Amino acid sequence: MNKTTELFAPGHRGCAGCCDALAAKFMLKAVGENCIVVTPTGCLEVFSTPFPESAWNVPWIHSLFENTAAVASGIEAALKALGRKNDTKIMAIGGDGATIDIGIRGLSGAFERGHDFTYVCVDNEAYMNTGVQRSGGTPFAATTTTTPAGKASFGNLRPKKNMPQIMLAHGSPYVATTSIAYPKDMMRKVKKATEITGPTYVHVHAPCTTGWGFDGSKTIELGRLAVQTALWPMMEIENGDITGVHKIRNKRPVEEYLKAQKRFKHLFSIPDGAEIIKKIQELADWNADQYDL
């Protein structure tokens, strides 16, 4: 492995403008080299470790799709038993499918047991590695390859599962939401999460150029629009209390966010599209009101 100054090295096989690569790079910059990373099966794992290459300049392990948190809990237990835990951080980085859907049992168990590790969900709102299928993180009305729009459907019928609230219900001392479009915010929150003892959770909103259908140069722009429309509220919750909210200066209408992506394109042509966009605006307004954005 070539040593570079980056803990997540360039030369991997991610798409131009890939959200996962940006997330991994900036999070490791924040956490530093005394860190063991666990990732599930998914884009990040596949494009960063085609044997015999690896983009990881920290110890890294991938086991399976649905057991990331359990593997992390085993690592934490081992380091404690062997007297090697010290200041070593254990960070799991999973996608929305691995976190919200297939891996939720193991994640719930690991948080309930109180292992000292940080779980980061990099949420690009569908199963991107298998070709953009719907997950529990897919937003209302988005099309995916398993929720296409058609005469009888406007796309995904359900809103996103509220994963941060679920993790909060486990009594986690630190739950935060952030976005790769705000790297400083993301780095600060991830670093803070790893420095707090106990199971901590950071949910990162991460626009996917391939899955959402936008140009690879617009990843950050899309991420910012999600926040500025109030569709993705960014906050910190410490010991159950909201201690910080990212305020929106000029709130943008959701149309700006929706029309920039192919996955919502149908909403601007189908007969009941305007009604659905109105519902999405209501979701954003609810967020703005609820969290005082």
Partner 1 sequence: MSKLTVVEGSYAVAHAAKVCRPDVIPAYPITPQTHIVEELSQFAANGEIGACEYITVESEFSAISALIGASAAGARTYSATTSQGLALMHEVLFNASGMRLPLVMTVANRAMSAPLSIWNDHQDSIAQRDTGWIQLYAEDPQEAADMTPQVYKICEDSKIMLPAMACFDGFILTHVYEPVVLLEQDLTDEFLPPFAPEHILDPSNPKTFGAFADPSIYSEFRYMQELGMSAALKKIETVADEFNEIYGRYYGGLIDGYYLDDAEIVLVAMGSVIGTIKDVLDELRAEGKKVGLLKIRSFRPFPTDAIRNAVKNAAIIVPLDKSISIGKYEGALCTEIKASLYNTKIDIPVLGYMFGHGGRDIPPERIKKIVSEAEKAIVNGITIESSYADLREELL
User: Interface residues with partner 1 (CB under 8 A)?
Assistant: 1, 33-36, 38, 45-46, 49-54, 56-64, 66-67, 69-84, 88, 105-106, 108-110, 112-113
Q: What is the distance of C-alpha 145 from the center of its chain?
A: 20
Q: Which is nearer to partner 1, 80 or 158 (CB)?
A: 80
Q: Which is nearer to partner 1, 58 or 288 (CB)?
A: 58
Of 74, 98, 90, the residue nearest 163 (C-alpha): 98
Question: Considering the complex, what minimum distance in angstroms separates the CB of residue 108 from partner 1?
Answer: 7
For the residues of 167-210, what is the DSSP string, one character each?
A: HHTTT-SEEEEEETTSHHHHHHHHHHHHHSSS-EEEEEE---II
> What is the β-pairing status of strands 149-150 and 89-95?
unpaired
Question: Considering the complex, what minimum distance in angstroms separates the CB of residue 79 from partner 1?
Answer: 6
User: Residue type at 61?
Assistant: I
Question: Considering the complex, what minimum distance in angstroms separates the CB of residue 54 from partner 1?
Answer: 4
Question: Which one-letter DSSP state was computed for residue 60?
Answer: E
DSSP-based three-state secondary structure for 261: coil
CB 94 within 8 A of CB 42: yes
CB 185 within 8 A of CB 179: yes
Q: Which is nearer to partner 1, 4 or 217 (CB)?
A: 4
For the residues of 77-104, what is the DSSP string, one character each?
A: HHHHHTT--TT-EEEEEEEHIIIIITTH
Rounded to an integer, what distance in angstroms lies between the CA atom of residue 108 and that of residue 85?
22
Q: Which is nearer to partner 1, 70 or 163 (CB)?
A: 70
Question: Considering the complex, what minimum distance in angstroms separates the CB of residue 167 from partner 1?
Answer: 15
Q: Which is nearer to partner 1, 51 or 247 (CB)?
A: 51
Task: Find the helix or strand (DSSP H, E) in which 69 lies.
Answer: helix 68-81
Q: Which is nearer to partner 1, 69 or 204 (CB)?
A: 69
Question: Which one-letter DSSP state was computed for residue 11?
Answer: -
| Residue 25 neighbours by CB under 8 Å, 6+ apart | 6, 8
Q: Which is nearer to partner 1, 39 or 156 (CB)?
A: 39
Question: Considering the complex, what minimum distance in angstroms separates the CB of residue 41 from partner 1?
Answer: 8
Q: Which two tokens stand for residue 124?
A: 């690009």
CB 76 within 8 A of CB 128: no
Question: Considering the complex, what minimum distance in angstroms separates the CB of residue 285 from partner 1?
Answer: 38
Question: Considering the complex, what minimum distance in angstroms separates the CB of residue 292 from partner 1?
Answer: 36
